[in-house]
A and B are shown apart, each in its own frame.
Chain A
Amino acid sequence: MPGTLRRTRSILDFALASLLRRKGRNAALLGVYTLVVFVAASLVFFTQAVKREAHQVLADAPGLVVQRTLAGRQDLVPLAWADWVRGLRGVRSVRPRWWGYYYDGAFGANFTVQASEDAALPAGSARIGAGAARILRVKEGDLITLRGHDNLPLLLTVQGILSSDSELVASDLLLLPREDFQTLFGLPPDQATDLAVDVANPRELPTLAAKIAERYPEARPILHSEILRTYDAIFDWRGGLLVAVLMIAVLCFAIFAWDRAAGLSAEERREIGILKSIGWETSDVLLLKLLEGLAVSLTAFLSGCVLAYGHVFLFSAPLFEGALKGWSVLYPRYRLVPVVDGYQLSLLFLLAVVPYTAATLIPGWRAATVDPDAAMRS
């Protein structure tokens, strides 16, 4: 047994030495290989992490959101609806919500504005997200000015900065008392943006949605599961966009690698011939080629994955930002929570390491089965 091990070690030694002999070419190959794995792994890490983040955020979302549509567009919901929905069987609570978007021309930023019914947030004050504070250059206790729908300025004291552990969501948020929200946008007092409905038994949600839609034909009930599905679809679509780009890179690499690995140069063929004539067996040559291929592909896979991990989880994926994050001018600055899906990673391993290794093995086997004399002559 130690004999086999020693032999394998010697062949590995030889394989590494022969890789080093063609340093330039192999380094270029390794570089491109690593880059492809890096992009693919970054993509996998990023979409997984963002999806998980979205699921976590939406875990607290209400089971059912009721909107009202007017000519197919979202409109304000009369508060009378809330009272009717509250009377339905199985409903635990109905909460009207007020939210919207505010564009600040001076800073060129879009903010999400939400009304809070928290008694600890008195009229004339606001709580803002960390990103919003950064853009507006304010801290706790400072004043911010928003321009109301009637062109009158609305002055608010910053009562606090929202914690940054939920920055993906809360970064661009301005939390206002309800009265100030209504003044800012000129909202009628008896209407809300939408209704958040909570039920005890989620099994009853589709029935409730059907009842609401029947009573108010212009209502649009949105189930929690539908929101989750939409988010998944969005991230899958955005991920798909990048996959399309990645495909081109992978194809380029495939041509390059095939050329490198499959067609043995005359020099390499002669080398195999010499090895065989000095007593190497076909299996030894195959092991040599296998180890060469593994050395390159494993190094590329591991370094690509490590680089991707750093790129996504330490530097928040700066390369993907434009394509994968939201449309808002104000990008949340945040760190993704590391999640590594073993299934996805092993799939990547299978796609990255196995084909290359196989591609190096076949021509080696073909060369090794040729008569050494003929190989050296050619």
Chain B
Amino acid sequence: MGRRGRWHGGLAAAILALPLAAGQAPSAREKCPVCGMFVAKYPDWMAVLRFKDGSALAFDGPKDLFTAYLDLKRYAPGRSPADVAAIEVKDYYSLRVVDGFRAVFVIGSDVAGPMGRELVPFAEAGDAAAFLKDHRGRRSLRFGEVTAAVLRSLP
């Protein structure tokens, strides 16, 4: 049984090493590098950081993605923001994968993610504004406006 378990583990590692195709669900065992929770359990909140060499990191919410992105030295040693090829987040209303760099994020709303208060992503600014009103959000932010200080304000 031990040997079989190891074999499965090896297989999982081999799969993890393969680049995730766009929008592809992570394997059931993949954990968020920031909080350690299983990513596949929260498909609605999944956020993916893709590097130019084809590897990727999956997170259980945009908040953890930003935590890692703003501190790559710690979460992806040897990489810099210049190595990031794409950021994928899921639009709140349609649950479609959208470009994280161009998305609008709403903070301070009454919608909680797996890790509590979240940066809720939207593809369209109009959707973000409507959400901000419906769910009593505090602010909507562009990708570049999300800083470590903003993350600290989200417990």
Interface residue ranges, A against B (CB under 8 Å): 89-90, 92, 200-201, 203-204, 207, 211
Contact = CB atoms under 8 A, between A and B. Distances in A.
B130 A89 contact: yes
Contacts of B111: 203
Interface string B123-137: 000010011001100
Across chains A and B, which 6 residue pairs bring their CB atoms closest together, nearest first?
A: A90-B93, A200-B95, A200-B94, A89-B130, A201-B95, A89-B93
Nearest to B113: A203
B134 A201 contact: no
B131 A89 contact: yes
A52 B130 CA distance: 38
Contacts of A89: 93, 127, 130-131
A207 B135 contact: yes
B92 interface: yes
Nearest to B90: A201
A198 to B, nearest CB: 12
Chain B: number of interface residues, binned into ranges: 10 to 19
B44 interface: yes
Interface of B: 44, 92-96, 111, 127, 130-131, 134-135
Contacts of A90: 92-94
Given A89-B127, A89-B130, A201 B93 contact: yes
Tell me what chain A mostly uses at the interface: helix, strand, loop, or mixed: mixed
A204 B93 CA distance: 8
A203 B44 contact: yes
A204 B91 CA distance: 12
B149 to A, nearest CB: 27
B93 A200 contact: yes
B134 A207 contact: yes
A90 B93 CA distance: 4
B77 to A, nearest CB: 35
B1 to A, nearest CB: 24
A119 to B, nearest CB: 28
23 contacts: A89-B93, A89-B127, A89-B130, A89-B131, A90-B92, A90-B93, A90-B94, A200-B93, A200-B94, A200-B95, A200-B96, A201-B44, A201-B92, A201-B93, A201-B94, A201-B95, A203-B44, A203-B111, A204-B92, A204-B93, A207-B134, A207-B135, A211-B134
Contacts of B127: 89
Contacts of B94: 90, 92, 200-201
Nearest to B93: A90
Contacts of B134: 207, 211
B82 to A, nearest CB: 33
Contacts of A207: 134-135
A200 B91 CA distance: 10
A200 B123 CA distance: 15
Contacts of B93: 89-90, 200-201, 204
B89 to A, nearest CB: 13
A92 B91 CA distance: 13
A92 B92 CA distance: 13
B64 to A, nearest CB: 18
A200 B43 CA distance: 12
Contacts of A203: 44, 111
A204 B130 CA distance: 12
A204 B122 CA distance: 14
A196 B94 CA distance: 18
